[in-house]
């Protein structure tokens, strides 16, 4: 069978837009016939790509089942509602999904091929049909330090994250900018005037952040000028679900047995795009920094070790520096006072690329080569 008929759902959201852009740039649409679906704009013109016509109904099982593969970036509720119904109706195609719903299921593989290509190849050979993108921070962490994992040098990892507004979707990005506008308006006049009283500026901004009309419908709190140390829903052990994913997903992606502990706190910050994380890594034994750096660098073709100095850090190790790039810089690498096995590092990556869209488009490419 050659895989040439693909349905795309969720293509106009944050992840879907980036995915479509990447597929066009890499020529993935050549030889593909595409149907574009929507949950809200059925019948309207779709993208003039892959021979797709008007937008089809994303809940029309028959229209979906006409495709050999479906790529969805629509979200978990959509997956929960549609995939079981499609499978019950006998659809046996490939489901490629950005949402977390199916990630931990036995009949799914989490795709991040620069890190777990053998796991994906085994899944294809064994007839697995669900190919799911990993959590964005987990995928970016593994892209950054897979070299250490490959050597068996990781005893545990603690990841403290600084996650961008776009991680929550298109509408949340807009809300962050609206919050920034409100703060800008409140500080206007005072911020430009170096002679104005700084405490007055502070009071104006603080009053704006806590005012009833401050825009926070999506985040539930101020993100601009503040931060939110809670992402996703709570779990029974005091962790958030975002934090829970670090251990669960990294071990499934790497097919680790026994599992290697990964834990930490996940924090939303006022960056627009790109997730950052501060890592504390306990190595299995003391290893020199130069060895650690060269093994990290050899991990894959996208990771970049950034020298641990101010100029390189400011130039290369920030959300702004990696926005729109597939590079995954990792810097601030140094030994901690806790002992020679304890390593600190800071890494940033575009969560919409390696953290979401890129593994999905590469999964489709791999399937087209294999089936």
Residues at the interface with ligand NAP (CB under 6 A)? 10, 12-16, 38-41, 58, 73-76, 98-99, 136, 166-167, 169-171, 351-352, 355-356
How many Å from the N-terminal Cα to the C-terminal Cα in the chain? 6
Given the residues 136, 146, 266, 274, the one annotated as active site: 136
CA distances from 348 to 43, 164, 249, 328, 356 (A): 40, 11, 19, 6, 14
CB of 15 to ligand NAP, least distance (A): 4
Q: What are phi and psi of 356, to 5 degrees?
A: -155, -70
172 is catalytic: no
Cβ atoms within 10 Å of 366's Cβ, excluding its own: 17
Of 85 and 171, CB closest to ligand NAP: 171
Pairing state of beta strands 328-335 and 342-349? antiparallel
Contacts of 156 (CB under 8 A, 6+ apart): 260, 261, 262, 263, 281, 282
Catalytic one of 73, 146, 172, 275: 275
Strand 5-9 relative to strand 69-72: parallel, antiparallel, unpaired? parallel
The residue nearest ligand NAP at its CB is: 13
**Pair 277, 140: CB distance under 8 Å:** yes
User: Smallest distance from the beta carbon of 147 to ligand NAP, in angstroms?
Assistant: 23
Q: Which is nearer to ligand NAP, 16 or 264 (CB)?
A: 16
Pick 283 or 360: Cβ nearer ligand NAP: 360
Contact 141, 348 (CB under 8 A): no
* Residue 47 beta carbon to ligand NAP: minimum distance, rounded to whole angstroms: 11
Nearest approach, Cβ of 246 to ligand NAP (angstroms)?
Answer: 14
CA atoms within 13 A on the CB side of 325: 16
Residue 97: CB minimum distance to ligand NAP, A: 8
Task: Output 177 or 185, the one with its CB closest to ligand NAP.
Answer: 177
Instruction: In angstroms, give the least distance from the CB of 335 to ligand NAP.
Output: 32
8 Å CB contact between 243 and 264: yes
Token output for 56: 């089809």
Q: How far is CA 49 from the centre of its chain?
A: 25
Nearest to ligand NAP of 14, 148 (CB atom): 14
**Is 275 one of the catalytic residues?**
yes
DSSP secondary structure of 277-326: EEEEEEESS---HHHHHHHHHTT-SSEEEPPSSHHHHHHHSSHHHHTT--
State in angstroms the smallest separation of the CB of 75 from ligand NAP: 4
For residue 318, how many other CB atoms are within 10 A of its CB? 16
Residue placing its CB nearer to ligand NAP in the complex, 96 or 292: 96
Query: Which residue numbers are catalytic?
Result: 136, 275
């Amino acid at each position: 069978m050659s895989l040439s008929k693909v349905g795309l759902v969720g293509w106009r959201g944050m992840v879907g837009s980036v995915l479509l852009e990447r597929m066009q740039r890499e020529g993935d649409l050549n030889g593909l016939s595409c149907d574009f679906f929507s949950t809200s704009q059925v019948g309207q013109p779709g993208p003039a790509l892959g021979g797709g016509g008007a937008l089809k109904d994303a809940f029309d099982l028959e229209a979906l089942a006409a495709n050999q593969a479906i790529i969805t970036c629509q979200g978990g509720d959509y997956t929960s509602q549609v995939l079981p119904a499609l499978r019950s109706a006998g659809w046996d195609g490939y489901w490629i999904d950005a949402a977390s719903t199916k990630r931990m299921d036995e009949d799914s593989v989490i795709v991040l091929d620069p890190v777990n290509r053998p796991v994906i190849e085994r899944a294809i050979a064994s007839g697995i049909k669900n190919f799911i993108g990993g959590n964005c921070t987990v995928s970016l962490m593994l892209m950054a330090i897979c070299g250490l994992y490959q050597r068996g040098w990781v005893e545990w990892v603690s990841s403290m994250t600084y996650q961008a507004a776009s991680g929550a979707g298109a509408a949340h990005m807009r809300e962050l900018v609206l919050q920034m506008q409100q703060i800008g308006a409140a500080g206007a006049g005072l911020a430009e005037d170096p002679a104005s009283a700084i405490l007055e500026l502070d009071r104006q901004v603080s009053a704006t952040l806590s005012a009833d009309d401050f825009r926070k419908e999506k985040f539930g709190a101020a993100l601009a000028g503040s931060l939110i140390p809670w992402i996703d829903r709570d779990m029974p052990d005091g962790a958030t679900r975002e934090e829970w994913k670090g251990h669960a997903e990294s071990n499934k992606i790497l097919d680790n047995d026994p599992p290697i502990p990964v834990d930490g706190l996940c924090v939303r910050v006022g960056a627009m795009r790109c997730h950052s994380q501060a890592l504390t890594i306990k190595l299995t034994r003391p290893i020199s920094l130069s060895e650690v750096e060269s093994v990290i660098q050899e991990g894959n073709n996208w990771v970049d070790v950034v020298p641990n100095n101010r100029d390189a850090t400011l130039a290369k190790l920030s959300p702004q520096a990696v926005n729109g790039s597939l590079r995954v810089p990792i810097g601030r690498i140094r030994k901690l006072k806790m002992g020679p096995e304890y390593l600190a590092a800071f890494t940033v990556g575009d969560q919409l690329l390696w953290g979401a869209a890129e593994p999905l488009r590469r999964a489709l490419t791999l399937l087209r080569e294999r089936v």
